[in-house]
Chain A
Amino acid sequence: ELKVEQNPLFLSMQEGKNYTIYCNYSTTSDRLYWYRQDPGKSLESLFVLLSNGAVKQEGRLMASLDTKARLSTLHITAAVHDLSATYFCAVDEDAGGTSYGKLTFGQGTILTVHP
């Protein structure tokens, strides 16, 4: 059974600081997603990482994937209040070399950015 673990689960940051959220998963996969969820809202796709060593960046967020370590990171640079949200990583199970979108999500990281 695929397990996905994020840490930390709660992250309180000051504006302008940097931090990293970690996502570990337990079985083979080469397709990992990061989503953002604002309170009471649905999930917004941030990044899809498709291969070992993949790195994607958008604004103050950068995501990377190490399939050998079964680890993805979401790095936040110079945090601003607008980044406050819950961030989920989700892993697409590798079903014999074929991914069809059965996502297993981490528990989520609640990020709060303070002035």
Chain B
Amino acid sequence: GAGVSQTPSNKVTEKGKYVELRCDPISGHTALYWYRQSLGQGPEFLIYFQGTGAADDSGLPNDRFFAVRPEGSVSTLKIQRTERGDSAVYLCASSLFSGETQYFGPGTRLLVL
């Protein structure tokens, strides 16, 4: 079946702009996770959804970052007033239930100029 998909695959924006990154999890997966991976590093946890609610957003770096999952499926990560330091690969993962193996999408490569 289809895996986790993310759009866009690449995003180039200017400092100060607003961006939205989309994640389509595997159908039927209840848990959805966002991670950020900087070059040469392992992914870092940002936020976790169980159903529609953000169960843990402790990894969001500051209040410029926000994520939603209004119908318990697709999720959008929103970044306001982007900064150059936000440049990274943003990975989405889903699992059938929380605490089970996470399946990762291909990521969105964000470059802030």
Residues of A within 8 A of B (CB): 4, 31, 33, 35, 41-45, 48, 88, 90, 92, 98-108
Decide if B41 touches A107 in the complex (CB within 8 Å): yes
**Nearest A residue to B106, CB-CB:** A42
Chain B's interface size range is 20 to 34
Decide if A107 touches B99 in the complex (CB within 8 Å): no
Decide if A101 touches B41 in the complex (CB within 8 Å): no
How far, in whole Å, are A105 and B36 apart by their CA atoms in the complex?
11
Q: Given that A33-B101, A45-B103 are contacting pairs, would A100 and B55 also be in contact in the complex, using a CB cutoff of 8 Å?
A: yes
How far, in whole Å, are A31 and B100 apart by their CA atoms in the complex?
9
Decide if A101 touches B42 in the complex (CB within 8 Å): no
Residues of B within 8 A of A (CB): 31, 33, 35, 40-45, 48, 50, 55-56, 59, 91, 93, 95, 98-107
How far, in whole Å, are A37 and B15 apart by their CA atoms in the complex?
29
Residue from A4, A42, A48, A98 within 8 A of B107 (CB atoms): A42
Decide if A104 touches B45 in the complex (CB within 8 Å): yes
Interface of A is mostly: strand
Residue from B45, B50, B105 within 8 A of A103 (CB atoms): B45
Residue from B43, B56, B103, B107 within 8 A of A100 (CB atoms): B56
Decide if A101 touches B106 in the complex (CB within 8 Å): no
Residue from A41, A44, A90 within 8 A of B42 (CB atoms): A90
Interfacial chain A residues near B101, Cβ < 8 Å: 33, 45, 48
Interfacial chain B residues near A41, Cβ < 8 Å: 106
How far, in whole Å, are A44 and B106 apart by their CA atoms in the complex?
10
**Nearest A residue to B91, CB-CB:** A42
Q: Given that A42-B91, A43-B43, A108-B42 are contacting pairs, would A101 and B104 also be in contact in the complex, using a CB cutoff of 8 Å?
A: no
